[in-house]
Structure 1
Amino acid sequence: MNHRNKNNHLGRKYGHRKSLLSNMASSLIKNKRIFTTLAKAKALRKYVEPIITKSKVNTTHSKRNIFSYLRDKIAVSELFNELFEKVRERPGGYTRIIKTGYRLGDQSTHSLIELVDFNKIYTYKKKIRSVRRSRKKIKKVNNE
């Protein structure tokens, strides 16, 4: 039975799991998408979404709290950049996990985890086409 076991231990001890999730979270923030196994992606989603929620408040205190999770100055500055403004407006659900198949070595489920607002395929807005005009000029016939 799996009662009272809230998080996936990923077959690692506490320090290794903490470092793994911290490094994966900073890579996700810098690169906007990463490929990993499905179990790690699900664990990363639970780790990174509260961090992005804490970045909505742009204060020194929240920057220091986020730095304690990520331990990467570049990722923290990226979170408070203007590029992440559309992410901060979202009420939640900042990440998306897409299953991409199975890894060749051990057949584990491989997946893509990405930040929702940085995918150009799903957030594509349709361009309004202008009316096509022909190049032929219409000649007026003068009836005199």
Structure 2
Amino acid sequence: MRHNKSGRKLNRNSSHRSAMFKNMARAVLIHETIRTTEAKAKELRGVVDGLITLALKNDLSARRQAYKVLGNHQLVKRLFDEVGPRYTGGNGGYTRIVKLSQPRVGDSAPMVIFELTKLAEQGAEVTAPKAEPKTEAAPAE
């Protein structure tokens, strides 16, 4: 019987699953939005929400626990300094799953976009300068 065994297996063994979710959590913190299957996204939600909850605690123990998942000091710093403070004063609702209309081509798996609800401000990114309209020179007489 399968009592008290939560979570999807996703046709992987436990070490492969944990490594996959660590990699996906890193990708979400770097890019803030990723494209994946619906089943993986629903399982990933618990991992990423747990990391953001740790970032809201903001103590040494929480940083060490986040490092166990992320394995990168720069990502832990970004999680605690940039991503975590966006969610202060809220209870949950850190991630969003948006279903895509087209399934994956190879196996028809339902695809989703997994993203953080509060994305980085768009004004912070460097934008390319707009091209100025060309003025025609007056013909010489």
TM interval, shorter chain, is 0.7 to 0.9
TM-score by length of 2: 0.77
Change in CA separation of 1:103 and 1:51 when aligned onto 2, cut-off 3 Å: same
Uncovered stretches (5+) of structure 1, i.e. residues with no partner: 121-144
What is the percent sequence identity of the aligned residues?
33
CA apart distance, 1:77:
1.2
In the other structure, the counterpart of 2:99 is 99
TM-score by length of 1: 0.76
In the other structure, the counterpart of 1:48 is 48
CA apart distance, 1:105:
0.8
1:42-81 correspondence runs (5 A):
42-81=42-81
Cα deviation code 1:39-84 (max 9, x no counterpart)? 1100100111111101112222211111112222222111112454
For 2:83 and 2:68, how far apart are their aligned partners in 1? 22
Change in CA separation of 1:119 and 1:73 when aligned onto 2, cut-off 3 Å: closer
Uncovered stretches (5+) of structure 2, i.e. residues with no partner: 122-141
Q: Which runs of 4+ in 1 moved over 6 A?
A: none
Q: Contact 1:36 / 1:113 at 8 angstroms: preserved in 2?
A: yes
Q: Contact 1:53 / 1:88 at 8 angstroms: preserved in 2?
A: no
In the other structure, the counterpart of 2:110 is 109
Q: What RMSD in Å do the two structures reach over aligned CA positions?
A: 1.9
Q: How many residues align?
A: 120
